[in-house]
Structure 1
Amino acid sequence: MADAAPDEQARLLLKQLDPDNWPISIDQLPEGTALVGGALRDALLGRHNPHPDLDLVVRSDALRHSARLAKIFGGKHVVLDEQRDIARLVLNGWTIDVARQEGDGLEDDLWRRDYSINAIALPLQPMASLCDPTGGLGDLKQGRLRAVREQNLIDDPLRLLRGLRFLAEIPLILDAQTGEWIQRHHKALGKSAPERILAELQRLVKGPHAEQALQLLERWPLLQPWATTSQTVATHDTTLLDASEKAVALPLARLTNLISDDGLKRLKASKMLQQRCARLRHWVLQANQQPEALSEQKRLQLHLELEVDLAALILGLPKELQQQWLKRWRDPNDPLFHPTMPLDGGSLQKELGLSAGPTMGKVLAQLRLEQAFGRIQTRDEALKTAHRLCAEIEAVCD
C-alpha cells in the first residue's frame, strides 16, 4: 500500500478501515473531518484491526459535534479537555475521539504532532488524498520512528516515553536525531501526569518488540525518578510458556524489574498492581534462582502469595527448573503450588471441640503445611494430625 499513488492509497485505506462497520456514518461528520492517529497508521502498516479506536480531527467545535453524534447514534459523549476542545464518543464498544484541529489547517495540525508516522491524515468529509506534510509515509516504508520536531516533544513530554512505547509495539528503528532529543529532554517527563506515564509503561512492557525499548530505558535516565536501583534489563526466557501465560507473566516481570515499589506508588498504580509487583520482587530476591532451597514454611508462603503470578517468577529460573515448576503449576491439584486448607475452623470445633483462637490458627497453618508437602492426603489423616498438634501445643503450654 505504501507504494501506491496517493489517491489509490486513500481508496485502499478506506476499504481496509471498513467505515461501514463503524458505529457512526461518515455522512454525518462535519465538513473538513479527517482521520488521524493509530487506526490510520496501523492500516498503513497492514496491521488490520476490525475494531480500532478512531481519532477524528474537525475544523472547529469538536465538543458540539461529539455531542451531536452521540445524540444521533445513541452513544455517550465525554468531555476530555474543554479548553483544547477534545471529546470522546463511546458507543457499542467503540471509542472515537474528536478534537479540534490546531493551527490554521490540517497541515498545521499535523506539524504539531509527535512522530511523523502519526502525522498522516485521511480526509473523510469530503474524501481526498492522504495528507502527509512531514514525510510519515516514507518513514513507515523504511520502518523508522522520527519525531516531527524537537519542540513538539517538549510541548508534551509524555511523547518522550510514547516514542519508546511505539518501538515496543511496532518493529521500528529509532531515528538518531530523535534519540538525541529524547535523551536531551528526559527530565521533562516528570512534568507529565503520573497516571499517563504509567499507562504508557504498561503498554510498553506488553509490546511484542519491547526488548529494544527496554534496552534504551536501561541506557537512558528517562525513568530515573521511578526506576529500580539497578534498572538492568533482565533476560526472560518465555519459550516454555503458552501465549496466555506469557501475556500475564512477562509484562509483570518487566514492570517489576523496571519500576521500584516507591516508583509505582508515585505513579499512582492501583493497590493491586503495587502488591503484585512488591510480592514478585520480594520472592525473586528470596529465591535467588534457587527457590527449592527455601525452608518449607517459606516455600509454602511463596506459593500462597504468588499462586496466580508464579509464572512471572518462573521466567527467571534455570531452564530445567522452569520445566518442573511449570508442570506442577499447571496442575490445579498440586497441593504445594495451589495450597488449600485440608480442614476448616468449623470442622476443628466440631471434631476436636477446639474454640476459635491462637491454638486453632496454629493448627490450621500446620495442617496446610503438612498437606502442601504431601504428609497428609485425606480428611482422616488431617484429623489425626490435628489431634496430635493440639496435644503438642497443650503440652508446651503446660
Structure 2
Amino acid sequence: MLRRPKSSALHWPTFPPAAVLVGGAARDLLRGAVPKDYDWAAPDPAAAARFIAASLFVENSIAANSATTNPATTNPVAAKRGAVFALDEQRQYWRAVVDGVQHDFVPLPADLESELLRRDFTVNALAIHENGQISDPTGGLRDLKRRSLKMVSEQNLREDPLRLLRAARLATTLGFALEAQTKAAVQRLARDPALPLPAAERIGAELNALMLSAEAAAGVLLLRELGLLELYLPELLEGAGLTQGGFHHLDVLDHNIEALHQLLTRFPSADLALRWATLLHDIGKPRTKGTHPETGRSTYYGHAELGANLAAHRLERLKQPRALVERVRAMIHAHMVHLPANEREARRFVHRRRDVLPDLLWLMLADREASRGPQSTPATRYAYQVGFERILAALEEQPPAPAALLTGREIMKLLNLEAGPAVGRAVRALAEAAALGDVATPDEARAFLLAHLAACAPADVPNG
C-alpha cells in the first residue's frame, strides 16, 4: 500500500476508528479537492456514523438516550446541525448528515481489494486507511495524475449500465479524458440491444450532474460521441444533420448544444431548469419541418409548442420535479415570441411572462448568439438589444400584478356568462389591462369589459 500525498492533508477528514474512505471521496481528496460527500467502510458502521457526528460537534441524542433508545431503530436522530440514522438496519447501512455534508457507512469487507476491483473506474477504485495508507489495486493514482478516466474492466461496466452514462458525467465534471479502450467499450456497450437501461431516476440524476457542470455543452457532445444520446435524449439527436439556413449556421442538434454553451459562457450560474430549456429549446423542429410554397425555404411552424411538450415529456420520464418540468415547458413554449417594439408592448410582455423572466431572456439571447448565420447583421443584433432593454426596464418598473379588480363571479354577472373558458379569458384580459395601466378601479374595470368584451361571443373573448 502507498502513503497519502502530503499535499492533500489540508482537506483530510477525521477518520472513525479502523474505517476506510473509499470511492469518489478518496479520489477527490487525492487530487486535492474537497469531496461533496463521503463513503466509508467500517467494522461497526453505526458506531462510525456516531463518531463522525460527534467529531463534527453534533449533539448525538443516540448516545444521550442510549439507556432507553435502540439506535438501530431510531431514524432519524435529531442533532444540532445534522442527523444520524440507519438506512438499512439489516445490512448495517448508516448515514450521518452534518451541515449538509453526507457521510455513508457500510460494513468493511473482509477482502477490501476484491471489493475495489469490482468498481467502475480506476480513479474510483481507491481506498484511504486511517493511518494514511492507500489501497490502489488498479493503478488509480497513476490515472489521477494523467487525468485519465479508465475502466477497471468492460465486464464491470456491463454489470451496471449506468456506468456508461457515468463515464461521460465524470469525464465532464472532472475534466478527465476517456482512455481509448474505455471509450471504445462504452461505445460498444451503448450499441448492445441486450443491455438493459438503468432506472429512470438514476439516469436523471446522472444527466442533471452533467448539466450542472460548467462544461455541460462539451458533456452533451461527449454523450453523442459515445452513442448515449440515442439512449437517453433521442429527441435531441433527431436534429442531427437537419440544416436550417437563414440566421442559422449549424444543424439543429449542434445549434441546441451551442446555445447551451453560449448560455453558460454568459450566465455560468444558470440554474438547472434554464440549462435544460436551452439545450432542448429547438427539439420540436425536426417534426415540424416544412417548406414555404412560395420561397421554398424551410419552415418550422409550431416547433416551440411541440418542443415544449416533447421536452416536458422527456423530463417527466427522467423523473424530474414537476416544478422544473413546467418551467422548462413554459420557457421553450415562449422562446419564439417577438420582442416588444415600444414600452407598452414591453409591459404586456412582462405581464404575460413574468413567471419565466428574466430566464426567458437569457434563453433567447443564447439562442440568438448560437445562430450567427449570414442574415445576422449589426442592425438585427442592435434591435434585439433594444428589445431586451425595454423588457428589463419594464420588469424592474412594473410591480407584480395587483389584486383582481373584479372577481370571476362579478365578471360572469356583468357579461351574462356561464362558467367556462370565456370567463377565464375575460379575467386574463382584465388583468392585462390593469397591468398596462388602462384600468385602476372596479368601475373602470366594468367599463373596460363592457366596451371591449360584452359584444363578443364567448369564443371570441381574447385569450390574452
Q: Do Structure 1 and Structure 2 share a fold, with TM-score over 0.5?
A: yes
Q: 179, 184, 192: which is aligned to 2:188?
A: 184
Aligned position for 1:79? 87
The residue correspondences of 1:160-309 to structure 2 (distance < 5 A) are: 160-186=164-190, 190-231=196-237, 232-233=253-254, 234=256, 235-236=258-259, 237-238=262-263, 241-245=266-270, 249-254=274-279, 260-284=311-335, 286-287=336-337, 303-304=353-354, 306-307=356-357, 309=359
244-253 or 190-199, larger mean C-alpha shift: 244-253
Q: 3, 6, 9: which is aligned to 1:7?
A: 3
Letter in 2 for 1:76: V
Aligned position for 1:379? 440
Give the secondary-structure state (helix, strand or coil) at the position aligned to 1:122: strand
Q: 1:364 to 1:162 in 2, by over 3 A?
A: same
List runs of 5+ in structure 1 lacking aligned partners.
21-25
Q: 348, 356, 360: which is aligned to 1:310?
A: 360
Whole-Å Cα distance in 2 between the matches of residues 371 and 277 of structure 1? 28
List runs of 5+ in structure 2 lacking aligned partners.
54-61, 65-78, 238-252, 284-309, 370-380, 458-464
Aligned position for 2:11? 17
1:197 to partner: Cα distance: 0.9
Whole-Å Cα distance in 2 between the matches of residues 182 and 118 of structure 1? 17
Q: Is residue 148 of structure 1 aligned with residue 120 of structure 2?
A: no
Letter in 1 for 2:21: L
Q: Is residue 114 of structure 1 aligned with residue 138 of structure 2?
A: no
The Cα offsets for residues 133-182 of structure 1, whole Å up to 9 and x where unpaired, read as: 21111111111111111111111111111111112211111111111111
Asked if 2 retains the 8 angstrom alpha-carbon contact of 1:139 and 1:145, the reply is yes
Aligned position for 1:390? 450
Q: 1:189 to 1:315 in 2, by over 3 A?
A: farther
Q: 96, 104, 126: which is aligned to 1:89?
A: 96
How many residue pairs are counted as aligned between the two chains? 365
Aligned position for 2:106? 99
Whole-Å Cα distance in 1 between the matches of residues 280 and 147 of structure 2? 26
Q: TM-score, normalized by length of structure 1?
A: 0.74
Q: 405, 415, 426: which is aligned to 1:344?
A: 405
203-212 or 224-233, larger mean C-alpha shift: 224-233
Asked if 2 retains the 8 angstrom alpha-carbon contact of 1:143 and 1:172, the reply is yes
Give the secondary-structure state (helix, strand or coil) at the position aligned to 1:117: helix
Whole-Å Cα distance in 2 between the matches of residues 185 and 254 of structure 1? 25
1:363 to partner: Cα distance: 4.3
Letter in 1 for 2:145: K
The Cα offsets for residues 234-255 of structure 1, whole Å up to 9 and x where unpaired, read as: 2121378444446663354236
Whole-Å Cα distance in 2 between the matches of residues 111 and 312 of structure 1? 45
Q: 20, 31, 51: which is aligned to 1:45?
A: 31
Q: 1:112 to 1:392 in 2, by over 3 A?
A: closer
64-73 or 246-255, larger mean C-alpha shift: 64-73
Letter in 2 for 1:7: R
RMSD after superposition: 4.1
Aligned position for 1:54? 38
1:130 to partner: Cα distance: 1.8
Q: TM-score, normalized by length of structure 2?
A: 0.65
Letter in 2 for 1:345: L
Whole-Å Cα distance in 2 between the matches of residues 173 and 255 of structure 1? 26
Give the secondary-structure state (helix, strand or coil) at the position aligned to 2:235: coil
Letter in 2 for 1:250: R
Give the secondary-structure state (helix, strand or coil) at the position aligned to 2:87: strand
Whole-Å Cα distance in 2 between the matches of residues 79 and 165 of structure 1? 26
1:283 to partner: Cα distance: 3.0
1:57 to partner: Cα distance: 1.9
Give the secondary-structure state (helix, strand or coil) at the position aligned to 2:367: coil
Aligned position for 1:328? 391
Percent identity, aligned pairs only, is 26
The Cα offsets for residues 49-78 of structure 1, whole Å up to 9 and x where unpaired, read as: 6xx4111123x5646755787745963223
The Cα offsets for residues 261-280 of structure 1, whole Å up to 9 and x where unpaired, read as: 33322222222222223333
The residue correspondences of 1:130-145 to structure 2 (distance < 5 A) are: 130-145=134-149
Whole-Å Cα distance in 2 between the matches of residues 264 and 377 of structure 1? 40
Asked if 2 retains the 8 angstrom alpha-carbon contact of 1:111 and 1:134, the reply is yes
